[in-house]
Amino acid sequence: MLALITPTARLYASWGEAYDEWPADAQQDGAVLRLAPEGGPGRPDAFAARVERLRGQGDATAPVAPGRVHVTHLWIVDGDTCLGAAELRHSLDDFLLDAGGHIGYSVRPSARRRGVASRAPGELLRRASDAGVDRVLVTCDEDDPGSARTIERNGGVLEDVRTTASGTKRRYWITPPPVTPALPVMGPGGIASNELRRWGRAQGFAVPDRGRLPSELLRAWERATEEAGERAE
């Protein structure tokens, strides 16, 4: 089953197999090959160190190197098979505003034409709000109609087509969906009322900041909890 996961050193072998499918001069968006100047996965311990650096680049509380921005890195996988890589840039410098955008992703050659590329943008957009990005710039090459269609299916509104340092780019803006609070669960001390209030407001209920919770909200939570349990069985 396709998923986007946080980079992990346990996929050392599969990452190397994916790397070997690419031409030596290929652009692999999201793969951050600049962290592997020697090429390939390298030794397992070096690969594990690079994975930790990838994970750390999304930490908004940590400083970034000059000329860099905070980036959330994800790997596109099917089980333990690495199919590609994706990244969400938390802000834009001059180059990213002109050509690169907030989102980058790539799929290994053997995994193309399987719908893998269409999965990445939607998942990255859902994570954009968590990273504080309220408008997402997504770009693609002018001669890549498949990527343009994927962006447009995800709500992309074309701003312009321009010549950049990376070629002629179609530049789209997307407003990511709002973050939906997770369904509150019953804990040892009951349900946290503040979590239930947030969840209820996201479902469209008029929920007061204090006092008793509306009975219709409690019934909706009970139904949602039952349905979640049925889906998990």
DSSP notation for 26-60 = ---TTT-GGG-TT-SS-SHHHHHHHHHHHHHTT-T
Could you tell me which residue, 173 or 24, shows the higher pLDDT?
Answer: 173
3-state helix, strand, coil in the chain (%, to 5): 40, 20, 40
Whether residue 13 is predicted with pLDDT greater than 90 in this model: the reply is yes
Structure tokens at 219: 């019934």
Mean pLDDT is lowest, of 11-20, 62-71, 154-163, 173-182, for: 173-182
Strand order of the β-sheet with 167-174 is 136-141, 167-174, 157-164
* φ, ψ dihedrals at 161, nearest 5°: -120, 120
pLDDT at 170: 97
Whether residue 32 is predicted with pLDDT greater than 70 in this model: the reply is no
From CA 84, how far away is CA 98, in angstroms rounded? 24
Whether residue 190 is predicted with pLDDT greater than 90 in this model: the reply is no
Cβ-proximal residues to 196 (8 Å cutoff; 6+ apart), any chain:
184, 213, 217, 221
Angle at 83 between CA 85 and CA 80, to 5 degrees: 110
Tell me what the pLDDT averaged over the chain comes to. 84
pLDDT at 208: 80
One-character DSSP codes across 130-173: GGT-SSEEEEEETT-HHHHHHHHHTT-EEEEEEEETTEEEEEEE
Beta pairing partners, 160? 171
pLDDT at 31: 66
pLDDT at 197: 81
Tell me the mean pLDDT in the region 76-89: 91
Percentage of the chain with pLDDT > 70? Answer: 90
